[in-house]
Amino acid sequence: MSLLIDAWTVLAVFSGVFFFLAGTVGLLRFPDALTRLHALTKADNLGLGLIVFGLLPQAVDVWMALKLIVIWLLVLIAGAVVSQRVARVARAQESGQ
Amino acid sequence: MMAGLVLDGLLALLVLAVAAWTIGVCQTFAATVGFTVYGLLLAVVWMRLAAPDAALTEAAIGALTGVLLLRAAIQLAPSEAGLNRLRPALKLRLLAGTLAFAITATLAAVVFHLPEPAPTLVPQVTAQQASTGLGNAVTAVLLAFRAIDTLLEAVVLIFALVAVWSLAPDAAWGGIPGAQIKGGSGDVRAYLSRLLPPVGIVIAFYIFWVGADFPGGKFQAGTLLAAMGLLATMAGLIQPPPVASRGLRWALVLGTLVFLALGLAGMPLAGAFLAYPEGWAKPLILLIEAASMLSIGVTLGLLVIGYPAGQAEQ
Amino acid sequence: MADLLLWAAVIVLALTAAGLLRLLRGPGAADRIMAGQLFGTGGAAVLLLLGAGGAYAAIDVALTLALLSAFVSLTFAVYAGRAGTRQALGRGEE
């Protein structure tokens, strides 16, 4: 049983790591600010999300699991709001050129 | 084991690289982002050094400092291009470089000549910690064994705010600090400012409460409260009270007053300034921490908001 | 297990640090904020991985970080937006 749980943790955590890879590559390689923003949200939502998902069974108590989920929700909400503002900055930059 | 070594090596390289880049970059906005990233890196470094209390403080203060620097950068932006053109003379730059190198070399020499094993007070702290009833040794040191330092630090914070306020023009004195912000309630910023503070306040109280037995405490919690207040202020949802407000003044000094009062009470009751009567240490420390959390939160928030500038500024 | 989580932390740190090249290159304020934000998320992930590996206090640090990085990123974006229209900070200094 514990082997199965550990396998799940490793699988989910490394899937999360893969989305961080996607986010970084996108941030570095995509041609303009708006597409880069699109790549960034993958790391925020899926990368951290999958890592949290993988770590949940490793939590020592309910509180730790709850904190893990709250962290992910905070990053999700912040990401949604901030990317809206960043997109506005990017658009102002492009029209200002 | 290997992974730990690689992680530490990577962290060390990153800290150096980000620090060098932050100093080297000419554009203030980029440097400010760099500095915030640097603070975040330091938080991870402290965590790796098994100093979670320092990591928590760094995470909290690093974020607030980033915002503070950003506001300064915005103020300086109009004159920045002109200043960048004025490069100091070669002699001056050489002198500055030599001085910086000398300081670094001295520090390195000192670090390499530290006695082995390093002198430590850890055994004394662990031996006495039980008498405070606290599980977190750092809190025990800050509020019992070296309480005088913590008291003075709280006072320094208030002096810093007085210094910021002293920049206010005469006409604006006593008014509402910071630039007036028109509330945009339909703004997505206002949305986050409504959503986040309730969660943030709960987290702040949690960090305060666990501080007695686990890493955490009043300073980190106060920073979180300040950040939540700033979030609502910057979205125009709430307005800071005028600096002449009596309630605000009381909130600023409450922590220090409670600390001082209980410290003085220690003289007749426990035989020394800042000593706690037998068995009362933990509740009294919690009381001081609660009052200090409020005062630190208010002070830090007002430090970022700035001085009353009057109606002239946007 | 703990070792694998530590390796995951190493990879996430290395990846988000590579993302910092965007902070270096810019060109605009938006790109710099994005690099900072990615690093904030990466930092939270690293702390969580350290926390699950046994350093439980790291979870609280990650909680503080997640809360404050929302505040910081938003402030940066709002100010950069305001300054960008004035052309003071939006683009690199020529």
Q: Which residues of C touch A48 (CB under 8 A)?
A: 41, 44-45, 48
Three-class SS of chain B: CHHHHHHHHHHHHHHHHHHHHHHHCCCHHHHHHHHHHHHHHHHHHHHHCCCHHHHHHHHHHHHHHHHHHHHHHHHHHHHHHHHHHCCCCHHHHHHHHHHHHHHHHHHHHHHHCCCCCCCCCHHHHHHHHHHHCCCCHHHHHHHHHCHHHHHHHHHHHHHHHHHHHCCCCHHHCCCCCECCCCCCCCCHHHHHHHHHHHHHHHHHHHHHHHCCCCCCCHHHHHHHHHHHHHHHHHCCCCCCCCCCCHHHHHHHHHHHHHHHHHHHHHHHHHCCCCCCCCCCHHHHHHHHHHHHHHHHHHHHHHHHHCCECCCCCC
- Residue range B156-181: average pLDDT? 82
Q: Which residues of C touch B14 (CB under 8 A)?
A: 13, 17
Mean per-residue pLDDT over chain C, rounded: 79
Q: Which residues of B touch A92 (CB under 8 A)?
A: none
Over the stretch A20-58, which tens digit does the pLDDT of each residue have?
Answer: 888 888 888 888 777 787 878 877 788 888 889 888 888
- Residue range B71-85: average pLDDT? 74
Q: Which residue in the block uniquely carries the two structure tokens 């989305």?
A: A19
- The confidence score (pLDDT) of residue B85 equals 73
Residue of B1, B2, B23, B44 to mutate, interface with C, max C Cβ within 10 Å: B44
The answer, for C25 touching chain B at a CB cutoff of 8 Å, is no
Rounded (10°) angle between helices B147-165 and B246-270: 160
Residue B176 and residue B298: Cα distance in Å, rounded?
Answer: 14
- The reported pTM is 0.84
Domain layout of chain A by residue ranges: 2-95
Residue of B1, B5, B7 to mutate, interface with C, max C Cβ within 10 Å: B7
Q: ipTM for the complex? A: 0.85
pLDDT bucket at A96, cuts 50 / 70 / 90: low
- The confidence score (pLDDT) of residue C93 equals 38
Across the interface, of B192, B199, B203, the residue whose CB is closest to A81 is B192
Q: Where does residue B27 fall: left (phi above 0), alpha (psi -120 to 50 degrees), or beta otherwise?
A: beta
Chains that touch C (3 or more CB pairs under 8 A): A, B
- The confidence score (pLDDT) of residue B103 equals 96
Q: Find the closest chain B residue to A76 by CA distance.
A: B192
Q: Which residues of C touch B3 (CB under 8 A)?
A: 3, 6-7, 9-10
Mean pLDDT check: name the lowest of A76-80, B27-31, B200-204: B27-31
pLDDT bucket at B242, cuts 50 / 70 / 90: confident
Query: Which of residues B185 and C73 earns the better pLDDT score?
Result: C73
Domain layout of chain B by residue ranges: 128-314
- The confidence score (pLDDT) of residue B314 equals 39
Domain layout of chain C by residue ranges: 2-85
Of the CA atoms within 13 Å of residue B65, those in its CB half-sphere come to 15
Across the interface, of A40, A64, A88, the residue whose CB is closest to C81 is A88
Mean per-residue pLDDT over chain A, rounded: 83
- The confidence score (pLDDT) of residue B104 equals 92
- Residue range B253-263: average pLDDT? 86
- The answer to whether A96 contacts C78, with C-beta atoms less than 8 Å apart, is no
For residue C91, pLDDT over 60 is answered with no
Going through chain A in order, the beta strands assigned E by DSSP cover none
Query: Which of residues A97 and B100 earns the better pLDDT score?
Result: B100
pLDDT bucket at C30, cuts 50 / 70 / 90: confident
Q: Which of A56, A87, A42, A52 is nearest to A73 (CA)?
A: A52
Q: Which of A78, C19, C28 is nearest to B30 (CA)?
A: C28
Q: Which residues of A touch C42 (CB under 8 A)?
A: 20, 43
Q: Which residue in the block uniquely carries the two structure tokens 């989580």?
A: C5
Across the interface, of C57, C63, C76, the residue whose CB is closest to B33 is C76
The answer, for B74 touching chain A at a CB cutoff of 8 Å, is no
Q: What percent of chain B has pLDDT over 90?
A: 10
Over the stretch A49-67, which tens digit does the pLDDT of each residue have?
Answer: 888 988 888 877 888 888 8
Across the interface, of A70, A74, A81, the residue whose CB is closest to B188 is A81
- The confidence score (pLDDT) of residue B313 equals 42
- Residue range B50-61: average pLDDT? 86
- The answer to whether C67 contacts B196, with C-beta atoms less than 8 Å apart, is yes
